[in-house]
Structure 1
Amino acid sequence: MLVYRITTEKWAGNLRGSGYAAIWNSNGIFMCYTASSRALACLEMVVHLNSDRLKTAFKVAVVEIPEEMEITKITNSDLPKEWTDHENYQLCQELGDKWIEDFNTCVLQVPSAIIKNEFNYLFNPQHPDFAKLKIIEIEDFEFDLRIKAS
């Protein structure tokens, strides 16, 4: 399976994650976020960046998850109805942090908070299977500025 990560060129070859808090991890918990398509990766970035930041040069890393790799899944039925609301991020962070702590799998599939029935794939860079993930290509990526007006 191929997944996609959009980031600046500096971080394009790095799948460790930043360790900064996000919807599925608390501050200090390293987790790499990827998406099931370039389009979803784009939208996931757009919701977090202002229109000036979109003018930065970006890259998209195309990452291969081996077919035989086990993937833990969190589904919408595992989450409260309002899980996408910012005030509920703590619950998602607790689930993601617990997944990292449990150390059962290298990949976690989670629902996208912005596109219903689409998925993001998170990586645990400390898991032994992390070495099996492969960046197969790094492509230039440019946001079309019509996506987000100033």
Structure 2
Amino acid sequence: MIVYRLSRGKYRNDLSGRGAELAGGRWNSKGIAILYTSESIALCTVEIAVHMPLGIVPADYFLVRIYLPDEVPLQELADEELPADWKSFPHANSTQEIGDAFVMESEYLIMKVPSATVQGNYNYLVNPRHPEFNKVAALEAVPFEFDKRLFVKES
């Protein structure tokens, strides 16, 4: 399977999940490394856009195409397994607990989770602690330019 992520130039080859470990996110607490990827380039773009202040166009980003092995089982959360507050803003601790358990248990390399920003789309979380993480590979990283219209401030 091919997935995507948008990374600042300095971190384009870093698949360690260190950024998420430092900042925490919807699906992980601070201190837990996890690699966030998306099923499409469009979803990556929206995921970055929702975290940027209006009027600021992200610069120095690279689109990273990442290979995830098809032969490893992945965890997929059924709708009934999602906590009621899973897409709240700011994100809830309940989703962090799910992601933290996914990483710590290391049963699965990949967890498929719904996007909170684009209904019907999915992100793929990758566990850098999993024994088969060495099968994950960045295939290419190319400069990415965001469409400025996504970040325009209404006057």
Q: TM-score, normalising length from structure 1?
A: 0.93
User: CA RMSD, aligned part only?
Assistant: 1.4
Opposite residue 41 of structure 1, the aligned amino acid is: C
Name the SS for the 1:5 alignment partner: strand
Which amino acid counterpart does residue 118 of structure 1 have in structure 2?
A: N
Percentage identity across aligned positions?
32
Contact 2:83 2:94 in 1 (8 A): no
2:29 is matched with which residue: 26, 30, 35? 26
**Would you say the 8 A contact 2:2–2:66 is kept in 1?**
yes
**Structure 1 contact 51–145 (Cα < 8 Å) conserved:** no
CA separation of 1:44/1:75 partners in 2, compared to 1, >3 Å: closer, same or farther? farther
State the match for 1:66 in structure 2.
69
Specify the code of the residue in structure 2 equivalent to 1:71: L
1:56 CA displacement: 1.2
Structure 2 counterpart of 1:9: 9
Which residue in 2 is equivalent to 1:94? 97
Residue 74 of structure 1: how far off its partner (Å):
1.6
2:56 maps to 1:80? no
Any conservation in 1 of the 2:75–2:110 contact (CA below 8 Å)? yes
Structure 1 distance, partners of 2:90, 2:55, is 26
Post-superposition offset of 1:24? 0.2
Off by >6 Å, runs of 4+ in structure 1: none
Asked if the contact 2:54/2:151 (under 8 Å) is kept, the reply is yes
3-state DSSP of counterpart to 1:24: coil
| 2:118 equivalent in structure 1 | 115
Question: Any idea what the Cα deviations from partners look like across 1:122-144, whole Å, max 9, x if unmatched?
Answer: 11111111100111111111111
Separation in 1 of the partners of 2:112 and 2:34? 12
Matched residue, 1:125: 128
Q: For residues 49 and 10 of structure 2, what CA distance do their matches in structure 1 show?
A: 19
Alpha-carbon distance in 2 for matches of 1:149, 1:87: 23
Aligned residues: 150
Amino acid at match of 1:102: E
* Secondary structure of 2:134's aligned partner: helix
- Which amino acid is 1:11 matched to? Y
